[in-house]
Amino acid sequence: MIPWNFEWAWDIGHYIFFGLFYACVGGIVLGLGVAAFMTVKNLRVPGDAGHGRPEADQPEGAEEGRATEAEPA
């Protein structure tokens, strides 16, 4: 039966079940909403792909250190 059917009788079991069910559905919808919001927010930041640290925070010589390493023979 569905809740708007005439024979539906609300009792404590229905309140508990639907309360937990809609709480779970609400949590999923809230999580998807937060993920969508953070995605749009991160897409609007120019020049930062979100990988690693920004260049300004890297120690000096980080790029030169990789370029001057000895290559195996």
Locus of tokens 């290559």? 71
Gap between the Cα atoms of 37 and 31, Å rounded: 10
- Which residues lie closer than 8 Å to 26 by C-beta, 6 or more apart? none
pTM: 0.53
Gap between the Cα atoms of 58 and 51, Å rounded: 13
Report pLDDT for 9.
79
Confidence of residue 38 (pLDDT cuts 50, 70, 90): very high
